[in-house]
């Protein structure tokens, strides 16, 4: 605890924690999909998505704002004032936790019955509600530690929380089914794992907090400055955090809209039972797999955001232009191959991980939409870095309205695929509005005249992956199904990776002269391949 984390180390810690959390989240969904029927899976999905949007509203924005306020005060050698800000934020988190927990618990039956149209989801929502008692406080503690440049506590607590949540959730669901409870109560047992996860995370943060307090005593830091009025602190926190909150809940809001709309919109189109089955696939399978592509790509782009903020503050337009271009380019180029692999191998992934092959098309389509999610999050982060949080918030609201309207219009025509199409339009509209605003701040071009070459690369990569998957699944005739699906997934990943990387270089989407600005991990991948690039592109770089 005595040694603060460097920026790069902190970024790696937080990115690794996010990746582990996502993998563990998928690890929970797989056994639950085998344990629960469509009703149980749908109940778990509805409870989880309602919880996530309320959690985001209670925690998103405030921790990052707190981190900023604390770091500024320590930079100005005013630790007592920083502690007072932290104290005020803890008071807020305690009150918010109680209010949101009661709201979720008592409104669960009405929401499940009259809005989501799945009354069986009510126990699962109520079982998860107590987790909100602690999570606002945990988020505030993470924000405070980040403001003090200690990233490890937040990362460790996140991993411990996910392990406790997954293990206890699966264990409780299994026990309840074994002793004779039906699936709605098994789903409630699975969601209650989130409560136990919150307790585990709180204990971790408390332990780190006690260590930090002892360290502060050794360094003779004073306690909180009680002369500073709480009202002024709260005004500063909310002024900065509310736009960030509203611009940070896009994905949870989209998932919440889906779980709220699938049954009401599809009951009359495909019938209640098939609508429940579609919701089960969307929540348990598709959303879990589609959550993977944005992680690493967004983490790479996010590492550039502080540089963008500094360049904007210095009014260094040339550096700002290069960093904005790099952030968007890296997020797209690094995110796309993951999207292509998971989409092309969706049938084999479905067979490998879950109990049946139904819903592979839903997994493929939702995964393909995540490239727009990647661009949306990256462009939104750039706007936040340039102090345009309110504009970002307005773009998110427009996107969510588009999502709602097109879900209602397209669901009767395309069923669940209409709802997924509305999700893609939501992310795409927000990206378009964000990019248009960024261009008003600084002129830039992501790929310029290379979009056609990039499009050919994407189509060729997907075609190669899909063809490999089609051939690979024939192995089920000569070996066990899951082994065949595992081998197929590995080959799809290999083929897509090779085709994608080679065509990026051969078609000139990437140029050797640009590599110096990329993260080192990407430089190491592409430098050896640059020997394959036609001379026309190298000459273009020299002449340029």
Q: pLDDT by residue (tens digit) across 22-53?
A: 777 777 788 888 888 899 999 999 998 888 78
What pLDDT is stored for residue 306 in this prediction?
55
Model confidence at 224, in pLDDT bands (50, 70, 90)? Answer: low
State the pLDDT at residue 51: 81
The answer to whether the pTM exceeds 0.85 is: no
* Averaged pLDDT of the chain: 84
> Which of the given ranges, 306-310, 323-327, 338-342, 376-380, has the highest pLDDT on average?
338-342
Q: Hey, which of 63-67, 176-180, 247-251, 380-384 has the most confident mean pLDDT?
A: 176-180
Tokens of 309: 């903020």
Residue 512 has a pLDDT of 76
pLDDT at 58: 66
Predicted pLDDT of residue 2: 47
Percent of the chain whose predicted confidence (pLDDT) is above 90: 40
Please state, as a whole number, how many other Cβ atoms lie within 10 Å of the Cβ of residue 236.
Answer: 14
What do you get for the CA distance between the two ends of the chain, in Å? 49
**Burial tier of 513 (Cβ tally within 10 Å: 0-12, 13-18, 19+):** middle
CB atoms within 10 A of CB 399: 25
Q: Distance (Å, rounded) from C-alpha 90 to C-alpha 102? A: 19
Least confident of 118-127, 243-252, 463-472: 243-252
| Alpha-helical segments (H) within 179-302 | 183-218, 230-248, 250-270, 272-280, 287-290, 293-302
Task: Let me know: does 261 contact 245? Beta carbons within 8 Å.
Answer: no
Q: Residue 17 pLDDT more than 80? A: no
- What are the tens digits of pLDDT across the range 519-544? 676 677 777 777 777 776 655 554 44
Residue 516 pLDDT more than 90?
no
List Cβ<8 Å contacts ≥24 apart for 127-130. 127/47, 127/188, 127/189, 127/191, 127/192, 127/195, 128/47, 128/48, 128/51, 128/104, 128/191, 128/192, 128/194, 128/195, 129/51, 129/101, 129/104, 129/105, 130/101, 130/105, 130/195, 130/198
Least confident of 108-117, 293-302, 520-529: 293-302
510 alpha-carbon distance from chain centroid = 27
163 Cβ partners below 8 Å, 6+ apart?
24, 197, 200
Nearest to 132 by CA among 199, 87, 66, 40: 199
Q: What is the pLDDT of residue 544?
A: 46
| pLDDT tens per residue across span 397-441 | 999 999 999 999 999 999 999 999 999 999 999 999 999 999 998
Find out whether 400 and 253 touch, Cβ atoms under 8 Å. yes
In the predicted model, is pLDDT for residue 373 greater than 80? yes
Quickly state the pLDDT bin for 358 (edges 50, 70, 90): confident
- Nearest Cα neighbor of 279 from 107, 48, 123, 53 is 48
Give pLDDT, residue 385: 73
Largest CA distance in the chain: 76
Three-state DSSP class for residue 142: helix
Query: Of 319, 310, 304, 303, whose CA–CA distance to 442 is shortest?
Result: 319
- % of the chain at pLDDT higher than 70: 88
Q: Which SS3 state, helix, strand or coil, does residue 182 take?
A: coil
pLDDT higher than 60, residue 6: no
Could you tell me if 188 and 175 are in contact, meaning their C-beta atoms sit under 8 angstroms apart?
no
pLDDT of residue 217: 78
Higher pLDDT, 284 or 497: 497
pLDDT at 11 over 60: no
How many Cα atoms sit within 13 Å of 224 on the Cβ side? 15
Chain segment 473-487, per-residue pLDDT in tens? 999 999 999 999 999
């Amino acid at each position: 605890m005595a040694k603060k984390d460097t920026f790069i180390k902190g970024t790696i810690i937080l990115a690794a924690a996010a990746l582990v959390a996502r993998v563990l989240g998928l690890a929970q969904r797989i056994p639950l999909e085998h344990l629960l029927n469509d009703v149980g899976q749908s109940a778990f999905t509805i409870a989880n998505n309602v919880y996530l949007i309320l959690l985001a509203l209670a925690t998103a924005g405030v921790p990052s704002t707190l981190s900023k306020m604390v770091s500024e005060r320590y930079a100005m050698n005013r630790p007592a004032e920083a502690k007072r800000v932290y104290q005020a934020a803890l008071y807020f988190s305690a009150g918010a936790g109680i209010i949101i927990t009661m709201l979720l618990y008592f409104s669960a039956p009405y929401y499940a019955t009259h809005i989501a149209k799945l009354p069986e989801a009510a126990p699962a929502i109520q079982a998860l509600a107590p987790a909100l008692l602690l999570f606002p406080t945990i988020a505030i503690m993470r924000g405070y530690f980040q403001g003090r440049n200690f990233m490890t506590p937040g990362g460790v607590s996140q991993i411990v929380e996910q392990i406790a949540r997954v293990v206890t959730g699966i264990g409780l669901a299994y026990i309840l089914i074994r002793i004779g409870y039906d699936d709605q109560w098994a789903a409630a047992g699975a969601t209650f794992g989130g409560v136990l996860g919150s307790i585990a995370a709180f204990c971790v943060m408390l332990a780190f907090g006690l260590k930090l307090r002892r360290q502060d005593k050794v360094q003779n830091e004073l306690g909180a400055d009680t002369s500073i009025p709480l009202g002024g602190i709260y005004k500063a926190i909310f002024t900065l955090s509310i736009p960030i909150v509203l611009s940070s809940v896009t994905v949870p809001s989209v998932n919440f809209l889906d779980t709220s709309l699938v049954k009401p919109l599809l009951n009359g189109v495909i019938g209640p039972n098939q609508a429940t089955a579609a919701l089960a696939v969307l929540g348990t399978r598709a959303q879990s797999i589609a959550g993977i592509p944005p992680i690493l790509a967004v983490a790479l782009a996010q590492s550039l955001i502080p540089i963008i903020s500094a360049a904007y503050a210095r009014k260094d337009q040339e550096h700002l232009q290069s960093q904005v271009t790099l952030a968007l380019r890296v997020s797209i180029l690094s995110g796309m191959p993951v999207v292509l692999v998971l989409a092309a191998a969706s049938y084999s992934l479905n067979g490998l991980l879950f109990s049946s092959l139904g819903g592979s098309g839903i997994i493929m389509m939702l995964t393909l939409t995540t490239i727009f999610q990647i661009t949306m999050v990256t462009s939104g982060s750039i706007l936040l870095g340039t102090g345009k949080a309110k504009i970002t918030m307005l773009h998110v609201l427009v996107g969510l309205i588009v999502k709602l309207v097109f879900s209602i219009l397209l669901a009767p025509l395309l069923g669940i695929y209409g709802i997924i199409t509305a999700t893609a339009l939501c992310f795409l509209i927000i990206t378009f509005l964000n990019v248009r605003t960024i261009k008003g701040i600084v002129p830039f071009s992501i790929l310029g005249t290379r979009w056609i070459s990039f499009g050919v690369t994407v189509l060729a990569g997907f075609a190669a992956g899909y063809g490999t998957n089609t051939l690979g699944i024939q192995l089920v005739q000569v070996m066990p199904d899951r082994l065949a699906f595992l081998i197929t997934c590995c080959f799809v990943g290999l083929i897509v990776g090779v085709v994608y990387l080679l065509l990026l270089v051969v078609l000139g989407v990437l140029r050797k002269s640009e590599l110096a600005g990329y993260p080192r991990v990407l430089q190491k991948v592409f430098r050896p391949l640059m020997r394959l690039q036609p001379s026309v592109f190298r000459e273009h770089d020299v002449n340029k």
